[in-house]
């Protein structure tokens, strides 16, 4: 187990190096991943079909940012489209729960915004790209939720799915260290840093690294039977934490911390007294490691990261807006809902309005306000389904100890990064899985 785990890690470190140094490799890697999982889904035994589908989707979720960063995909939203494709493929084999119908209603509620958008923008390529950009995330969420709802899965399988999500994050982390090995050379202020983020969007990079932090921290607590595995998992957690912090995008790191808090609180109160003592000891060691990571990050950024998290500029002056303009965008989109409360302004409608009024493209950072402004009353229905359906399921099934952590990730991410990447939608769907305990084999004595 230890050797296989280590080989997977080393392999993905090697992939990260190839992505940076070999120009043609990103596209080769992208198609190899698709082909590998497509064949796997077809040939695997029916009992393992759903788990294999979820592993494929999890891997694409973890790899989405590195695919975008290196131009590996066919187009920008490739990962979301192939996640939807794999999910539909899985539905063909084992269907969906009849109790998941609210998510079908959720998908139907997205349709009116397309009709409204076609009236405002017109039926051209601009409509297609704009609608695809804002609706691919919600559609990915809806389809994933339909498939995952009440699907039975055990602890080993969910940990495997999470590992498949985190392995490409190792590749991303490797790529970042090669792209900008010296943080001191690329940091000059307290704004989000593109150079420290592989030349890509710090928000998306930070969010993905935060997911990796969470997974390897979970492995540290639940899946490290030896000291060697504990060291490996803490090391990976530390490296991802460092690269996440120095992007200067706070959202991903803070979301990871909230996820870990939600997970550990739930596990702690469900544990025996002996297990609680182990959790406390492990947590204190993790806290000590995190303190070292922060000190290193502060040193590498010449103290600028401390100012960033204190909401100060590089001179130490406090910034007026801690949200970096997100609050103004939020209230601006709520005005769109007030003006068009029934059908909304249409998919990508607020973006088009801002182009007309501001003369530049300003994309939303908040999915809640976007749903209300662009979908109107249907956006209200969508939010009610997204919030209350998981809670309804939770009231009847309390076995999924990742439930609150996954919902925290979804809610926090859509409030600082909307649904630019597939991660919040897919992780939301994982919260709907029916996690059950593995049955121990019964050994019977022979009578004769």
Q: Of 245, 307, 267, whose CA–CA distance to 404 is shortest?
A: 267
pLDDT over 90 for what percent of the chain? 62
Residue 126 has pLDDT above 70, yes or no: no
- Flag whether 217 is in a domain: yes
Q: Of 232, 200, 186, whose CA–CA distance to 12 is shortest?
A: 232
Confidence at residue 439, expressed as pLDDT on a 0 to 100 scale: 58
pLDDT tier at 337 (50, 70, 90 boundaries)?
confident
How does pLDDT run across 203-233, given as a tens digit for each residue?
999 999 999 999 999 999 998 888 899 999 9
For residues 278-295, average pLDDT: 92
For residues 188-202, average pLDDT: 89
How does pLDDT run across 266-275, given as a tens digit for each residue?
999 888 888 8
Residue 332 has pLDDT above 90, yes or no: no
For residues 167-179, average pLDDT: 97
Taking the C-alpha atoms of 246, 247, 252 and 255 in order, what is their torsion angle to the nearest 10 degrees?
A: 30
Residue 445 has pLDDT above 70, yes or no: no
- Flag whether 175 is in a domain: yes
- Flag whether 156 is in a domain: yes
For residues 399-419, average pLDDT: 92
- Flag whether 440 is in a domain: no
What integer best gives the mean pLDDT of the chain?
Answer: 89
Confidence at residue 138, expressed as pLDDT on a 0 to 100 scale: 94
Residue 309 Cα distances to 176, 195, 241, angstroms:
22, 19, 15
Encoded tokens for 372: 């209300």
Cβ atoms < 10 Å from Cβ of 194: 17
pLDDT tier at 324 (50, 70, 90 boundaries)?
low
pLDDT tier at 448 (50, 70, 90 boundaries)?
very low
Contact between 190 and 184 under an 8 Å Cβ cutoff? The reply is no
Contact between 406 and 145 under an 8 Å Cβ cutoff? The reply is no
- Flag whether 83 is in a domain: yes
Confidence at residue 322, expressed as pLDDT on a 0 to 100 scale: 66
Confidence at residue 331, expressed as pLDDT on a 0 to 100 scale: 79
How does pLDDT run across 357-390, given as a tens digit for each residue?
766 666 777 888 889 988 999 999 999 999 999 9
Lowest mean pLDDT among 126-135, 302-311, 414-423: 126-135
Residue 39 has pLDDT above 80, yes or no: yes
Q: What's the whole-model pTM score?
A: 0.93
- Flag whether 359 is in a domain: yes
Residue 344 has pLDDT above 90, yes or no: no
Confidence at residue 9, expressed as pLDDT on a 0 to 100 scale: 97
Report the b/e string of 418-440 with b at 16+ CB within 10 A: bbbbbbbbbbbbbbbbbbeeeee
pLDDT tier at 318 (50, 70, 90 boundaries)?
confident
Confidence at residue 179, expressed as pLDDT on a 0 to 100 scale: 95
Confidence at residue 203, expressed as pLDDT on a 0 to 100 scale: 92
pLDDT tier at 124 (50, 70, 90 boundaries)?
low
pLDDT over 70 for what percent of the chain? 93
Question: Which domain does 260 fall in, by range?
Answer: 1-435
Confidence at residue 121, expressed as pLDDT on a 0 to 100 scale: 63
pLDDT tier at 447 (50, 70, 90 boundaries)?
very low
- Flag whether 444 is in a domain: no
Residue 33 has pLDDT above 90, yes or no: yes
Q: Half-sphere exposure of 297 toward its Cβ, with a 13 Å CA cutoff? A: 25
pLDDT tier at 22 (50, 70, 90 boundaries)?
very high
Per the structure, the count of domains in the chain is: 1
- Flag whether 61 is in a domain: yes
Confidence at residue 429, expressed as pLDDT on a 0 to 100 scale: 97
Confidence at residue 132, expressed as pLDDT on a 0 to 100 scale: 78
């Amino acid at each position: 187990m230890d050797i296989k785990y280590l080989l997977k890690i080393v392999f993905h470190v090697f992939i990260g190096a190839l992505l940076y140094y070999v120009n043609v490799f990103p596209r080769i890697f992208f198609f190899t991943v698709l082909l590998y999982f497509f064949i796997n889904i077809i040939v695997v035994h029916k009992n393992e079909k759903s788990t294999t589908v979820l592993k494929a989707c999890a891997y694409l979720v973890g790899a989405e940012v590195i695919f975008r960063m290196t131009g590996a995909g066919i187009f920008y939203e490739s990962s979301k489209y192939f996640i939807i494709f794999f999910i539909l493929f899985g539905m063909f084999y084992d269907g969906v729960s009849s109790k998941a119908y609210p998510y079908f209603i959720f998908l139907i509620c997205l349709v009116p915004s397309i009709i409204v958008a076609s009236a405002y923008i017109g039926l051209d390529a601009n409509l297609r790209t704009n609608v695809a950009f804002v609706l691919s995330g919600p559609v990915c969420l809806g389809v994933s939720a339909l498939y995952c709802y009440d699907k039975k899965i055990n602890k080993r399988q969910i940990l495997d799915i999470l590992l498949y999500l985190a392995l490409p994050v190792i590749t991303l982390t490797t790529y970042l260290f090669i792209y900008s090995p010296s943080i001191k050379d690329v940091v000059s202020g307290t704004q989000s840093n593109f150079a420290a983020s592989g030349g890509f969007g710090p928000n998306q990079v930070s969010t993905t690294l935060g997911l990796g932090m969470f997974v390897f921290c979970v492995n540290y607590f639940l899946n490290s039977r030896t000291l060697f595995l504990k060291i490996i998992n803490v090391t990976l957690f530390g490296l991802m934490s460092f690269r996440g912090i120095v992007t200067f995008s706070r959202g991903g790191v803070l979301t990871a911390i909230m996820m870990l808090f939600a997970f550990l609180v739930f596990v702690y109160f469900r544990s025996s007294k002996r297990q609680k003592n182990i959790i406390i000891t492990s947590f204190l060691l993790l806290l000590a490691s995190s303190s070292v990571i922060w000190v290193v990050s502060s040193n590498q950024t010449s103290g600028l990261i401390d100012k960033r998290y204190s909401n100060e500029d590089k001179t130490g002056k406090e910034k007026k807006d801690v949200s970096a303009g997100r609050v103004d965008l939020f209230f601006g989109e709520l005005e769109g809902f007030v003006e068009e409360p029934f059908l909304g302004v249409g998919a990508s409608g607020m973006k088009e309005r801002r182009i007309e009024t501001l003369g530049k493209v300003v994309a939303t950072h908040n999915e809640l306000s976007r749903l209300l402004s662009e979908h109107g009353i249907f956006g209200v229905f969508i939010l009610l389904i997204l919030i209350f359906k998981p809670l309804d399921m939770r009231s009847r099934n309390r076995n999924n100890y990742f439930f609150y952590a996954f919902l925290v990730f979804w809610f926090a991410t859509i409030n600082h990064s909307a649904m630019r990447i597939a991660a919040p939608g897919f992780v939301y769907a994982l919260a709907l899985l029916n996690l059950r305990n593995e049955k121990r084999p019964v050994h019977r004595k022979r009578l004769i």
